[in-house]
Amino acid sequence: MSDKAAQINFHAPATLRKWPSVNSERVSASLGASPYLIIEGTLDECVQKFMSQPKSQHHLYEIHTAPQSDLVSAILAAEQIVEIARLRDFL
């Protein structure tokens, strides 16, 4: 796992986005909803901002960045972001 972690570029450009919600549930894209920009910066900055949000709202967020490896896809869901945050702490 450390080989993959070492390949993550935390300085890569990224955006943290949040889906609109009703009663803490995402509004569906089929209803015309799309995630809006929270922060534009590096992958590291976006991960830090995400981790500072209430855990109960994590499912509403995603990070958009250039794919880097099996761990870093173009759109990162909450579970992936938490895993990347854990890996970052070991680097």
Q: What is the tens place of the pLDDT at every residue in 28-38?
A: 889 999 999 99
Q: Give 90's contacts (C-beta < 8 A, 6+ positions apart).
A: 2, 5
Give 22-30's long-range contacts (Cβ < 8 A, gap of 24+).
24/56, 24/57, 24/60, 26/59, 26/60
State the pLDDT at residue 51. Answer: 97
* Residue 8 domain-assigned (yes or no): no
Q: What total of structural domains would you count in the chain?
A: 1
Residue 5, domain member (yes or no): no
Can you give the residue range of the structural domain that contains 67?
Answer: 13-90
Mean pLDDT over the full length of the chain: 91
Task: Please check whether residue 76 lies inside any domain of the structure.
Answer: yes
